[in-house]
Structure 1
Amino acid sequence: MLDIKLAKSKMENEEGMNHLWVQLFQDEKVQPQKSEIQIQLPKGIYRSNNLNGFVENEREHIVVDAFDQDVIIEIFTQDAIQCGEMTIVVSLLTAETTISKEIRIQIVEEDEMDMVEIDEQVVERIKELSNAAPTYDAETNIVSIQPRILEKRDNEYSHLEKKYRIDY
């Protein structure tokens, strides 16, 4: 019902990046319903919004409305964090149940990244998503509309009213 994979087996401890692939599978016993995906990351690891474009609520949970879907999240480090093995917990929250799965990620120094294993299936899915996104090139027309600026005046009549007013 819930499967998670990482694009790389290791991640750099400083300015490192990886992708987390969360797959939801249909369970015959459970009716499709709205559910939320909660991702708990170790301290020092952050995530961006999901690359699939699903809505994220105020609790930063990803809202999905059906099974047989997948979500890709980019995870990264900003500052140097301690090296070692860390755990990422992904939970699927529905009205009736909560299903959680863990995946371990190895945080290493930059010089240890040469022995990284890459999951080609995750990489292919990321490429599919990036190709499906609309591209902007020289032929794309972008229209910029300037907003109106309302000017508040404290006089009795506006300047147009003063100019064209006829007092009877």
Structure 2
Amino acid sequence: MLDIKLAKSKMENEEGMNHLWIQLLQDEKTQPQKSEIQIRLPKGIYRSNNLNGFVENEREHIVVDAPDQDVIVEIFTQDAIQCGEMTIVVSLLTAETTVSQEISIQIVEEDEMDRVEIDEQVVERIKELRNTAPPYDAGTDIISIRPRILEKRDNEFSYLEKKYRVDY
């Protein structure tokens, strides 16, 4: 029901980034229903909103309303965290069942990143998603910022400026 992959086998412990690809697989015997994806990350690893544009509720669960969809989430570290193997837990919550799956991620120093393995299938899916993304202004609010208007005013020193100004 869940298939989870990481774009890179390792992630830097400080300012590292990776992508998590979650695929929802539909069983033939179950009815399609609204579900939520919960992602539990180890301490020190954070995530951005999903790149697919799905709604995220107040519990930070990703709401998926159709089967056979996938979700891509960018995960990252902000500060230096301890190196080692950590576990990411992804749960699919429906009204009837809860399915959880774990994936391990290796946190390493920057100099160990030269031996990283990249999952080309995940990278290709991220590229597809980026290419099919709506244009920047579609569905966004327009913010108008008025420019500053500089006014020339007379003040107590303006006569000195006029008298001693040197124009080249």
Q: Which category of TM-score, normalised to the shorter sequence, fits these structures?
A: 0.7 to 0.9
TM-score, with structure 2 as normaliser: 0.81
What is the match of residue 92 of structure 1?
92
1:1-168 equivalences under 5 Å are 1-135=1-135, 144-145=143-144
Deviation at 1:136, TM superposition (A): 5.3
Task: Flag structure 2 segments of 5+ consecutive residues without an equivalent.
Answer: 146-168
Question: Secondary structure at the residue paired with 1:112?
Answer: helix
Q: Distance in 1 between matches of 2:132 and 2:143?
A: 25
Deviation at 1:46, TM superposition (A): 0.1
Question: Secondary structure at the residue paired with 1:50?
Answer: coil
TM-score, with structure 1 as normaliser: 0.81
Question: Secondary structure at the residue paired with 1:128?
Answer: helix
Q: Distance in 1 between matches of 2:26 and 2:3?
A: 12
Question: Secondary structure at the residue paired with 1:89?
Answer: strand
Q: Report the residue type matching 1:31 in the other structure.
A: Q
Question: Secondary structure at the residue paired with 1:101?
Answer: strand
Task: Flag structure 1 segments of 5+ consecutive residues without an equivalent.
Answer: 147-168
Q: Distance in 2 between matches of 1:144 and 1:114?
A: 43
Runs of at least 4 residues of structure 1 off by over 6 A?
A: none
Identity %: 87
Q: Distance in 1 between matches of 2:53 and 2:112?
A: 33
Supply the RMSD in Å over aligned alpha carbons. 1.9
Q: Distance in 1 between matches of 2:33 and 2:63?
A: 11
